[in-house]
A and B are shown apart, each in its own frame.
Chain A
Amino acid sequence: MTLREDLERLADAVPAPPVDPTTWARARRARRRDRSIVAAAALLTIIGIGAVLVGVPGTPRAETASTSPVTGVPDRLRPVPPHVLESGTASGRGWEVTDDPAIGVGVAAWVQNARHPVVVGVDGDYHVLRLPGFLGDLWGEATRQDAGLTLSPSGTKVAYAWGDRGRDGVIDRSGLAVMNLETGRLTAYALKGAAGTAVSAIAWSPNEGLIGWEGQQFDAATPNGLSGARPVAGVIDYRLDDVGPSLDVAGLGAVSVDDAGTVVVAATGRLTSISGRQVSTRRFDGPSEPRIAASPRNAVGWSVVGAFNTRSLDYLDQDDRRRRVPLQIPAGTDWDIAPVGWNGYDAIVATREYADDGQVSSHLRAVDTRTGRTRIVGDAEVGGPTSGFLSIATDRIVPRAITVPAGPAPDWPAAGPGVAGLAWRVGLALALVSGLVAAMRRRRHRTPSL
């Protein structure tokens, strides 16, 4: 007898069991489930692939493509959406939030929401920079400042109010810092004073060699607060890394500096000039609470003084004489003015204009200091006199036109929440995972080939 015969006899001796009569019905239900799973997997996979192809709302794209190459100051400066400002490092078409400040050359810069430096690159892209030691409004209301930031005339550097926190989180050194936007190199200048000096306004000289500043110096600093504040101003030789003395001034408001190192601080009713260690103060019958001054370059003026609810433009001419130019403002309209630069006889200002009918508009205007006529050269929804510290790369001003056409709006991620974005992400993840699981299950249950 062979093994085969033995085995067969062995198997024959065991009676075959009855087959479950519900087998076919159970199999039919299983077939229906199979078809449902396959259909769902196909649908979810298509949804997933489609979502990947069209992009997910609220998800930054990997590439940072330029909206369009603009080599000058764009004729429209758009505010960055708040949810983008508050996001972590991210990027999309025409924008980024980055802690890498080496972005190249900027043409306009401002501080948004008092703590977010924004630089518009020469390519038109918007860069929200996480600058090291940028103070924003951390000094608080008591210092009457909300942090300065100024773009250099060439657009290659930004100077900003800087501070360094100690181990206990309290600022123990402060002053200003210069970030080279081409190299990412940071140069910080700690100024004198307990906890340093809270710098409130900064100006570049036309040749970028000097930085004028003004701020408050404190006699004492403790974790509970600062005391003994007094207004000071000074100049830093950026090329020589030389910090000049901090000198007392009559008040704070606006600052400018020329290539020779003369600093002018305009405060309410007073004008202080600093040259070396010489400080002279005189009465200045200008607007109250001047905010910003602009450095001249090949300009007829010396310093433009911003003002609220004004109908005239105040500036200092090259002989340091105060000038006032009546503006041809339509009746029933009030303007706030923040000066940003010069173009020959034209003073360039950012305006916020209030009409009687309640309409508010924001523009970049060129004011002809000979006639008082103004013309709109752009829209600036940022950097009005009440906020923003808007500065432009004055070397990038295009004669006559002053600005260049702005590219299309950056592709900001969808506003809002996170709930929709999160739901979308979760849905997409579920779709992909479900599709994958269904495919794997399908594969595992696949019938063996015959």
Chain B
Amino acid sequence: MQNHEAEAEYEAFVHARSAALFRTAFLLTGDRHLAEDLLQTALFRTARHWNRIHGRPEAYARRILYTQNISWWRARRHLHEQPLEPWHDRPLPSTDADLRTDLLAALARLTPRQRTVLVLRHVEDLTETQVADVLGIRLGTVKSTAREAAARLRAIAPELDPALHTRPGPTDLEETR
């Protein structure tokens, strides 16, 4: 493949999918700036290995999002940064503002791994087995992490609890009870 052709394909991919990838990145990090960094990292690595992953760039990019977020957390968990512009100071559009604020606050209280499992299960629609495979952890760890995430959400934002049960993930949500 000629380089300019590959570049054109990459640009098309970025144009088409970067917004969706950013949404996932935002949910994984709970922070806009971290989400931007995470997206840039994923897109850079995707470009770097474009020839090898040609044909399935989004799957690759998403996997980078999932794993890199946890890697960052592991590398930075001993640092306690104070964001200059806390996420809850941002204006959020219109309706259900309170619920979203609660939800973001609740997500922020989760660990990156808990948040990642939650997002993969309920937003990305992955099965527990797929989550275990993507994150490189055991199936039991996925289940226990999902249980802990649900328990913490209930404790932080009880009003979210019904929502959590309203629509199960692709497999049985027993672990969230």
| A interface residues with partner B (beta carbon < 8 Å) | 1-4, 6-14, 16-17, 19-20, 23-24, 26-28, 30-31, 34, 447-448, 450
Asked, given contacts A24-B7, A24-B10, whether A2 binds B56 with beta carbons under 8 Å apart, the answer is no
Q: For residue B116, which residues in chain A have a CB less than 8 angstroms away from its CB? A: none
**B27, A30: Cβ atoms under 8 Å?**
no
Q: A23's contact among B40, B99, B164, by CB below 8 Å, is which?
A: B40
A90 and B35 alpha carbons, distance in the complex (Å) = 61
Q: For residue B96, which residues in chain A have a CB less than 8 angstroms away from its CB? A: 1, 6, 9
Q: For residue B19, which residues in chain A have a CB less than 8 angstroms away from its CB? A: 16
Q: Which 8 A-B pairs have the closest CB atoms?
A: A27-B47, A11-B23, A2-B167, A16-B19, A27-B48, A16-B22, A2-B166, A3-B163
| B interface residues with partner A (beta carbon < 8 Å) | 3, 7, 10-11, 14, 18-19, 22-24, 26-27, 32, 35-36, 39-40, 43-45, 47-50, 52-53, 56, 59-60, 63-64, 67, 90, 92-93, 96, 99-100, 103-104, 119, 122-123, 160, 163-164, 166-167
Q: For residue A27, which residues in chain B have a CB less than 8 angstroms away from its CB? A: 44-45, 47-48, 50
Q: For residue A19, which residues in chain B have a CB less than 8 angstroms away from its CB? A: 14, 18, 39-40, 43
Q: For residue B11, which residues in chain A have a CB less than 8 angstroms away from its CB? A: 24
A9 and B26 alpha carbons, distance in the complex (Å) = 12
**B44, A23: Cβ atoms under 8 Å?**
yes
A28 and B44 alpha carbons, distance in the complex (Å) = 10
A293 to chain B, nearest CB (A): 81
How many contacts A-B (CB < 8 Å)? 101
**A16, B18: Cβ atoms under 8 Å?**
yes
**B123, A1: Cβ atoms under 8 Å?**
no
A358 to chain B, nearest CB (A): 73
Q: B100's contact among A13, A30, A448, by CB below 8 Å, is which?
A: A13
A31 to chain B, nearest CB (A): 6
Asked, given contacts A6-B103, A24-B11, whether A1 binds B53 with beta carbons under 8 Å apart, the answer is no
**B32, A4: Cβ atoms under 8 Å?**
no
A303 and B27 alpha carbons, distance in the complex (Å) = 103
Q: For residue B23, which residues in chain A have a CB less than 8 angstroms away from its CB? A: 8, 11-12, 14, 16
A31 and B48 alpha carbons, distance in the complex (Å) = 6
Asked, given contacts A19-B14, A23-B40, whether A3 binds B47 with beta carbons under 8 Å apart, the answer is no
B88 to chain A, nearest CB (A): 12
24 CB < 8 A contacts A-B: A1-B96, A2-B167, A3-B163, A4-B122, A6-B96, A6-B99, A7-B119, A7-B123, A8-B23, A9-B96, A11-B26, A13-B93, A13-B100, A16-B22, A16-B23, A19-B40, A23-B14, A24-B7, A26-B47, A30-B48, A447-B52, A448-B67, A450-B56, A450-B60
**B100, A9: Cβ atoms under 8 Å?**
yes
A26 to chain B, nearest CB (A): 6
A16 and B160 alpha carbons, distance in the complex (Å) = 26
Asked, given contacts A7-B119, A12-B23, whether A24 binds B47 with beta carbons under 8 Å apart, the answer is yes
Asked, given contacts A14-B32, A16-B18, whether A26 binds B122 with beta carbons under 8 Å apart, the answer is no
A23 and B46 alpha carbons, distance in the complex (Å) = 10
A215 and B157 alpha carbons, distance in the complex (Å) = 102
A20 and B47 alpha carbons, distance in the complex (Å) = 12
Nearest A residue to B101 via CB reads A10
**A23, B47: Cβ atoms under 8 Å?**
yes
Asked, given contacts A7-B103, A23-B40, A23-B43, whether A1 binds B18 with beta carbons under 8 Å apart, the answer is no
Q: For residue B32, which residues in chain A have a CB less than 8 angstroms away from its CB? A: 14
Q: A11's contact among B27, B48, B52, B67, by CB below 8 Å, is which?
A: B27
B99 to chain A, nearest CB (A): 7
